[in-house]
């Protein structure tokens, strides 16, 4: 069994981005990322703090707009419009989830697609499905980078995606199809999950259910990508896979933490750099 080390890979990607930013700075160009954080959700605050540190490491200009959970939708939209027009900002990210009184779809659609470094705008989603150059959501492209790093060929592989969210499951499936994999998507209404996972060469799970994937649901030699991150009552962080037992049957598996999580932030930086290059028509 080979452990797919997203932590080391993400550091390598950040180091490469840092070098590229140093070259851009010689031309007076500094990539800029703006984040909107609404409310005081501890997990969201932690994620935003990690993104701030990552931006500082690679040399990006970054700003966080912290807003109370009583903020109106129109006030958020006005802030996004301001950032759409700001030439220093290449990427705009709205930290999810948003409070219940805010229409998340309307907020995400307000972001200029050329600054949509989270890849959630319908324009970028549509381009992704058609296999056109776009900003793809960071977690799925982080998974694709892991496959690339470990020379895992997806062509013709049977892949089972567990979870069908707009943020992870659906774009993940599109990327896999674009790589010529055969894709099955399962979700909360799937009648017999194990019947799908047992047949898969690769299982990618992002359902938010601790230890959902058990040893008897995985065939020998399968590749398992665990996107889930769940905090148990005893404080431990675990994924959606019973790592201890499933890992005994795998050829490759991602750990939690240290697998897909660090790659998500690395891909956010990569998308922001891509947006900055586009802004100045920099050819990579």
Active site residues: 51, 95, 118
Q: What is the CA radius of gyration of the chain?
A: 19
Q: What SS3 string covers 105-135? A: HHHHHHCCHHHCCCCCCHHHHHHHHCCCCCC
Q: How far apart are the first and last CA of the chain?
A: 36
CA 39 → CA 66, 68, 241, distances in Å?
8, 5, 30
Identify the residue whose tokens are 């959501």.
Answer: 137
d(CA 58, CA 175) in angstroms, rounded, equals 27
Alpha-carbon gap, residue 198 to 253, rounded angstroms? 16
């Amino acid at each position: 069994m080979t452990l797919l080390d997203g932590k080391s890979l993400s550091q390598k990607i950040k180091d490469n981005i840092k070098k590229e930013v140093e070259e851009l700075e010689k031309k007076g160009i500094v990539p800029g990322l703006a984040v909107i954080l609404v409310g005081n959700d501890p997990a969201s605050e932690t994620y935003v703090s990690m993104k701030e540190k990552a931006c500082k490491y690679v040399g990006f200009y970054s700003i966080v707009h912290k807003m109370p959970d009583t903020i109106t939708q129109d006030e958020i939209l006005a802030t996004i419009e301001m950032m759409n027009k700001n030439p220093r900002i290449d990427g705009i990210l709205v930290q999810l989830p948003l409070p219940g009184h805010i229409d998340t779809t309307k907020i995400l659609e307000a972001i200029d697609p050329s600054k949509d470094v989270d890849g959630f705008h319908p324009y970028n989603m549509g381009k992704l499905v058609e296999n056109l150059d776009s900003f793809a959501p960071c977690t799925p492209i982080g998974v694709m980078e892991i496959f690339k790093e470990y020379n895992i060929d997806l062509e013709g592989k049977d892949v089972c995606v567990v979870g069908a969210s707009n943020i992870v499951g659906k774009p993940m499936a599109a990327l896999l199809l674009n790589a010529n994999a055969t894709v099955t998507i399962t979700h909360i209404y799937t009648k017999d999950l194990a019947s799908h996972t047992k047949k898969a060469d690769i299982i990618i799970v992002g359902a938010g259910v601790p230890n959902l994937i058990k040893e008897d649901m995985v065939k020998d030699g399968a590749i398992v990508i665990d996107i889930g991150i769940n905090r148990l009552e005893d404080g431990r962080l675990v994924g959606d896979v019973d790592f201890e037992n499933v890992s005994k049957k795998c050829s490759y598996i991602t750990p939690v933490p240290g697998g897909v999580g660090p790659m998500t932030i690395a891909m956010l930086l990569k998308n922001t750099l891509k947006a900055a290059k586009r802004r100045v028509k920099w050819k990579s």
